[in-house]
Each structure stands twice: as structure tokens, then as C-alpha cells.
Amino acid sequence: MKKEKVVDINTWKRKEIFDFFSNLSNPFYMISFRQDVTALYEYTKANNLSFYYCMCFLCTKALNSVDAFNYVIRDDKIIHLEGRNPSFTDLRKGSKLFHIVTMPLVEDMKEFVRLAKEKSDNQEVFIEMNKETDDLVYISSIPWVDITAVTNERDLADPHAKDDSIPRICWGKYVDANGRLELGISIEVNHRLIDGVHIGEFANKLTELISCLK
């Protein structure tokens, strides 16, 4: 069973910031940064692993290490989650059509890669709507171009649109940067819950996780 807790907004340290950005019709913003993935590339090649699935695992794990990403706005309440699970796009084999794969985050990266491939290969629908909950992180990749920024689609006509608390992460192709491999990562969040310092913590944790691969 998921461990969730309703936050008392009146004693929440973030209340003033939350209230300020709650007055905006569009409280979402996006930040992009460069990420060195040399160690990850070498690790995936040495272990015959999918670079994409490994990135999905590492980004979700890094996100969950920053507590600010574990808050959601639900039914006019602030809920603290135990953690988020990945919901990622994946191309169908031999096709240019993609589907969306949603699955739990497991502890071991190699096991996650195995399960992700199995889940994606066997999924016959575009999206499993019963798994689309608010405790996810949406992940995608555009490996054909070196991205500098990515925006995301939203139904802004929805009366609860600005309550959307799901982070969106996307990255592009890795390119040579003075003998190292780098890629551009874009992350879009709700400013009612997440500030730039939290994105910085996410980026630092992702770098740490990649650098520890052996």
C-alpha cells in the first residue's frame, strides 16, 4: 500500500510561495541543462543494457531523492508521496509509432531494464489509463536531435489544469563535447511545488548516480 500523507497547508513552510504561484493561470516552467553521460554510455555498452531505460531509471531515482518532487496537489489538498514511478514513451519495434509504458521503479537498474523491455514488448495498447495516476514522472527522449529545450502539451482548458503536479523530463541525443559525451535534458515542473534549487538538486543527484556506475 502506498504511504501518502495529507500536508497541513497552514503550517507548511512553503505555504507563502505556494499561495503566490497559485494565483497564476500558468504556474509551469521549464529548465534545460547539459548532462555528462560518458560513464553511463560506457556502462551500458559494457553490460549490453538499453541507454534509454537506464536513463529512465536514473532520472526517476534522482527525482525521488529530492523531497520537493514528492508533493502533489490533489482535490485541493497537498499530498506527500512515498515516491514517484516512471511513465515513459517507447517506440514500437519496427515502427515510428510510440506507446506510453508505466511501471513501478525497482531497486536494481539491470532488473528495471529487463522489466521495462518486457513490459514494452508485450504492451498492446497505446496507454494503460488505469495506471495514469498523479504519482508518476513523465519521461521521453528525442534521440535524433541535440535538444536545447522542450515544452509539453497540457489541457489548459481543464479547470484543474494548474494542479498538475507531474514533472516532465525529456532528453536529446548525446554528442561529443571535448572528448566527453553530453546530452541536453529538459525538465518542466509546477512552480507551486518546485523551485529552481530543487531542479539543481535533481541535476546534482543525477550526476552523482551516473558517476558511481562501474
Q: Enumerate residues 6+ apart whose C-beta is below 8 A from 26.
A: 156, 162
Please give the pLDDT value at position 92.
Answer: 85
> CA 201, CA 196: separation in Å to the nearest integer?
9
Domains, the chain:
49-211 (3.30.559.10)
pLDDT at position 167 over 80: yes
Q: Are 79 and 12 in contact (CB under 8 A)?
A: no
What count of other Cβ atoms lies within 10 Å of the Cβ of residue 103?
19
Q: Are 171 and 141 in contact (CB under 8 A)?
A: yes
The CA-to-CA distance between both ends of the chain, in Å, stands at 34
31-66 pLDDT, tens per residue?
A: 999 999 999 999 999 999 999 999 999 999 999 999
Please give the pLDDT value at position 3.
Answer: 85
